[in-house]
Structure 1
Amino acid sequence: MSLPLFALFLAAFAFGTTEFVIAGILPDVAQGLGVSIPFAGYLVSGYALGIAVGGPFLTMATRHVSRRTILIALTIAFCFGQIACALAPSFVAMLAFRVATAIAHGAYFGIAMVVAVGLVPPAFRGRAVSVILAGLTVSNIIGVPAGAAIGGLWGWRTTFWAMTLVGVLALIAIWALIPQTKAEPQQAGHLGREVRVLGRQQVWTSLIIMLALMIGQMVPFTYITPLLREVTGLDGMIIPWVLLLNGVGATLGVFIGGRLSDWKLMPALIVMLGIQAAILVILYLVSPYPLLMTATIFVWGALNFAIGAPVQARILMWTADAPALASSLIPSGFNIGIAIAAVIGAGLLEGGYGYRSLPVLGAVALALACLVAIFSAAHEKRSGAALPQAAFT
C-alpha cells in the first residue's frame, strides 16, 4: 500500500469506526443522554440518512474545490464532529452532530475513491478502491471493539475523544501525503453532464447491483445475533467471535475483490454474485449447525466485500469524465440499501417469518443482481462502448 493510499485508508477507518461504534456504546449513550435504548437507535439511522442525502449535495457543492483541499476540510469536519459528540449536552444535540459528521462521511468516500483511482495506473484501479473499502472493514474488526472497550472503561464520551485523536492522525497523513490536485474547471452545463453519465447502463445497473448486494447482505446481518442465538444455538459469549471471523473474512474479501476487478471485472463480478446467492442458500441450510454455520459466515463475509470492490470500480471507470455526482452516490447507495434491508427484515419478522428465513430473501436479491450483471455485460459487449477518459486529474 502506497503512503498516499494509506492516508486515505486511515481517514476511511476513522469515518467507518465512528459510524458503527455507536452500536457498541448505545446503552451507555442512552443512559447518559436520558433516553431509551430504542430511541437512541435514531443515532444510527440519522447517521445513515446524513450519508445518503447530505453526502451527494456536499460533493456537488464543492466540486470546484481541489480534491486534496476538500479531503482536508472533510477530515477537519470529522474531528470537530467527534469533539462535539463528546461534549453533547442532549440527545437532540448529539443527533445533530452525528448527522453533520455523516454528511462529511458521505462526501469523503466518494471523493477519496476518485482520488485513489487517480493515484494508480488504470490496471490497478480495483485495488485502489479496495484500499478505501478496507478502511471500513478494519474499522469493524479493530475500531469498533476498541471504541466500545474504551467506552466501557472510561465512559462513552471518551470514545469520541479517542476518535478525535484518530481523526487528527488521518488529517496529518492526508496533509502530508496526498499530492496537490487541480480544481474542477468551471464549465457550462457541467451539472447536466454529471447527471447524464448516470444514464450510462454500466452506471445505473451497477447502482442496482449495489442496492441488491446491500439488501442481500444486511437483511440477514442486521439480525445475525438473534439468528445465531435462537436458530444456531450459540452462547452469547461466542457470537462476538463469530462476528469477528466474519469481519476477518470481509477484510480478506476486499483485497481479493480488488485484484479480481483488475483482472476480469465483469466475469469476476457475475461469478461472485452467483456464488454469493448460493452461499446464502447454504447459510439457510446449515443455520442449525454451529460449526458449519460459522464457516459459512466467514465465506459470506469475504464475498460481501469482495463484490463491493468491482461494483464501485465499475462506477468510477464509467464516470471518469464526470465523476463527482456518481462517486458521491456510492456511499449513498450503500446506506440506502442498509435502510431498505432493515425495513424489509423487520417486515418479514413482524409478518411471522422466523430469523432463518432472512438468508433466503438475501439469496433472491443476489440472484437478481447476478441477472442484472449478466444483462449489463452482454449489452456492453454488443455496444462496443469505450471507457471515458478523465476530464481532469
Structure 2
Amino acid sequence: MPFALYLLGLAVFAQGTSEFMLSGLIPAIARDLSVTVPAAGHLTSAFAVGMIVGAPLMAVLSRRFSRRSALLAFLVTFLLVHVVGALTTSFTVLLVTRVVGALANAGFLAVALVTATGMVEPDAKGRATSALLGGVTVACVAGVPAGALLGEAWGWRSAFWAVALLSLPAVLAIARAVPPGAPDAGGPSALGELRALRGPRLLVTLLLGALVNGATFCTFTYLAPLVTQVTGLGAAWVPGMLALFGIGSFLGVAAAGRFADARPVPLLVFGSLALLTGWVLFAVTAAHPVAAVVLVLVQGALSFGVGSTLIARALYAAADAPHLAGGFATAAFNVGGALGPWLGGLAISAGLGYRSPLWLSAALVATALVVGGAALGLGGRSPENEQALGRAEAGAPSPDTARSRADS
C-alpha cells in the first residue's frame, strides 16, 4: 500500500476520535455550559446528521478542486472548528462547530475513499478501503478511551485540543505526500454520476451497509450500560470493553482487506451469518462475563470486517461515479450509524431493557441477509450476474474493474 494512504488513515483516526469521543464527555460539557444532559446529547445527533447530509454534498463540491486541495480544505476546516469548540463558552457555538466539523469530516472521508482506491491497482479497492478505515478502528481502540481520560484529567476542552493537534501533522503530511493532481474536468458530469448511482447493485449494497452498520452501533452505543447492568461488571470494565471492541474492529478490517477483493461473496455471506449468530448468542449470554468479553471482541471483528467489505463493493459498483461514490457510501453507513442508536434508544425507553439493542442488532443483520439473498435470487440467474459472481469468487477483476483499467 502507498505510504500516502496511511497518512490519510492518520487524518481518519483524528476524525474518528472526534466522532466517538463525546460519549464520555457529555456530562462534563452539560455541567460546564449549563445545559441538560439530553441537550448536550444533541451534539452527537448534530454530528451524525452533518455526516449524512454532508457526504454527498461535499463530494459534489469537491469536484471543482484537485483531490489534494479538497482533502486539505476539509481537514483544515475540521482542525479550526475544533479550536473554536475548545475555546467557546456558548453551547450554540459548540453545536454549530459539530455540524461544520461533521460536514468537513464527511467531505474528507468521501474524497479520501476515492483517492485511496485511486492509488492502488483497480482490483485492490478492498485492501485500500481497509487500510483507510483502519484509522476509524484505531480511534475506537485508542482515541476514544484517551479522549475520556483527557476529559477526566484536564476537562472536556482538552480532548478537543487533542483532536486539533492530531489533525495538524496529517495536514502537513497530506500536503507533501498526496499528488497534487487537477480537477477532473474531462470526467463524467455530476448529473451523469448521479444517474450512475441509480444502479440496483449499488443501491442494494448501500442498503446492506446501512443495515449492518446500524446493527453495529445499535449495540456499541449502549455497550456501557449493557456491561454494567446486564453483565454485572463494574464501571471500571467499560473502557476495557470499549477498547476490546475496537481491537476486534481493527482485526476485522485487517482480515477483510486480505479477502475483500478476491472472495467478496463468501466473505459477505458467511461473515453476515456469523455476525447474526454472534448477536443472538450475545443477547442470550449477556449475563455471563466471559461470554460477553469474548463476544465483544468477535462482534467487533465481524461487524467491521463485513462493513468494510460492503464499502469496497460499493466503490466497485460505482465505477462510473468516481467523485460521488465515496460520498454516498459514507452517507449510507452514517444513516446506519444514526438509525441503530435511535432504535436501541426506543427499545430501552419502552422498558425492554439493555439486552434489547442486541436483539435489534440481530434483527437488522437478519434483514440484511434477507435483502441480500433476495437480490442475489432476483439477479443471480442472468448470465451476466453468474459470470460476475464467478469472477468475484475466482479473484478476477469485474467488468467495472476492467473498464477502469482500460480508461487509466
TM-score by length of 2: 0.91
Q: Which amino acid aligns with 2:101?
A: T
Q: How far 1:186 sits from its partner (Å)?
A: 5.4
Question: d(CA) in 1 for partners of 2:231 and 2:302?
Answer: 21
Q: 2:197 touches 2:321 (CA, 8 Å); kept in 1?
A: no
Q: How far 1:156 sits from its partner (Å)?
A: 2.1
Matches for 1:62-77 after TM superposition, within 5 Å: 62-77=62-77
Q: How far 1:104 sits from its partner (Å)?
A: 0.6
Question: d(CA) in 1 for partners of 2:80 and 2:376?
Answer: 44
Question: d(CA) in 2 for partners of 1:362 and 1:130?
Answer: 23
Matches for 1:350-369 after TM superposition, within 5 Å: 350-369=349-368
Residue deviations 1:248-304, cap 9 Å, x none? 111110111121202211221111111101111111121121101211111001001
Q: How far 1:119 sits from its partner (Å)?
A: 0.7
What RMSD, in angstroms, separates the aligned Cα atoms of the two structures? Answer: 1.9
Question: d(CA) in 2 for partners of 1:90 and 1:267?
Answer: 51
Question: d(CA) in 1 for partners of 2:299 and 2:181?
Answer: 38
Q: 1:232 touches 1:288 (CA, 8 Å); kept in 2?
A: yes
Q: Does the alignment pair 1:37 with 2:31?
A: no
Question: d(CA) in 1 for partners of 2:349 and 2:158?
Answer: 37
Aligned to 2:400: 387
Q: 1:315 to 1:218 in 2, by over 3 A?
A: same
Q: 1:215 touches 1:337 (CA, 8 Å); kept in 2?
A: yes
Q: Give the secondary-structure state (helix, strand or coil) at the position aligned to 2:235.
A: coil
Q: Which amino acid aligns with 2:172?
A: I
Question: d(CA) in 1 for partners of 2:345 and 2:4?
Answer: 41
Q: 2:62 touches 2:111 (CA, 8 Å); kept in 1?
A: no
Aligned to 2:396: none
Flag structure 2 segments of 5+ consecutive residues without an equivalent.
386-398
Q: Give the secondary-structure state (helix, strand or coil) at the position aligned to 1:121.
A: coil
Question: d(CA) in 1 for partners of 2:382 and 2:361?
Answer: 31
Q: 1:197 touches 1:203 (CA, 8 Å); kept in 2?
A: no
Residue deviations 1:77-110, cap 9 Å, x none? 1111111111113000011111101101111111
Q: Give the secondary-structure state (helix, strand or coil) at the position aligned to 2:89.
A: coil
Most deviating of 90-99 and 312-321: 312-321
Q: How far 1:144 sits from its partner (Å)?
A: 1.6
Residue deviations 1:103-150, cap 9 Å, x none? 011111111011111111133211110112111110121112222222
Aligned to 1:5: 5
Question: d(CA) in 1 for partners of 2:53 and 2:265?
Answer: 29
Q: Which amino acid aligns with 1:69?
A: S
Q: 2:46 touches 2:99 (CA, 8 Å); kept in 1?
A: yes
Residue deviations 1:183-209, cap 9 Å, x none? 12156x823222222221221001110
Matches for 1:251-270 after TM superposition, within 5 Å: 251-270=250-269
Aligned to 2:244: 245
Matches for 1:24-103 after TM superposition, within 5 Å: 24-103=24-103
Residue deviations 1:307-328, cap 9 Å, x none? 1111011111111221322311
Question: d(CA) in 1 for partners of 2:369 and 2:15?
Answer: 30
Q: How far 1:383 sits from its partner (Å)?
A: 5.0
Q: Does the alignment pair 1:233 with 2:232?
A: yes
Question: d(CA) in 2 for partners of 1:341 and 1:248?
Answer: 21
Aligned to 2:131: 131
Question: d(CA) in 1 for partners of 2:149 and 2:229?
Answer: 26
Q: How far 1:377 sits from its partner (Å)?
A: 4.2
Q: How far 1:382 sits from its partner (Å)?
A: 2.2
Question: d(CA) in 2 for partners of 1:155 and 1:238?
Answer: 22
Q: 1:218 touches 1:338 (CA, 8 Å); kept in 2?
A: yes
Q: 1:266 touches 1:373 (CA, 8 Å); kept in 2?
A: no
Q: 1:4 touches 1:174 (CA, 8 Å); kept in 2?
A: yes
Q: Which amino acid aligns with 1:184?
A: D
Question: d(CA) in 1 for partners of 2:223 and 2:151?
Answer: 23
Equivalent pairs, count: 392
Question: d(CA) in 1 for partners of 2:182 and 2:383?
Answer: 33
Aligned to 2:291: 292
Flag structure 1 segments of 5+ consecutive residues without an equivalent.
none
Q: 1:202 touches 1:380 (CA, 8 Å); kept in 2?
A: no
Q: Which amino acid aligns with 1:49?
A: V
Residue deviations 1:56-93, cap 9 Å, x none? 11210221211111011111111111111111130000
Question: d(CA) in 1 for partners of 2:351 and 2:102?
Answer: 34
Question: d(CA) in 2 for partners of 1:56 and 1:123?
Answer: 24
Q: Which amino acid aligns with 2:400?
A: L
Question: d(CA) in 1 for partners of 2:376 and 2:178?
Answer: 35
Q: How far 1:358 sits from its partner (Å)?
A: 2.5
Q: 2:141 touches 2:245 (CA, 8 Å); kept in 1?
A: no
Aligned to 1:159: 159
Question: d(CA) in 1 for partners of 2:179 and 2:311?
Answer: 23
TM-score by length of 1: 0.94
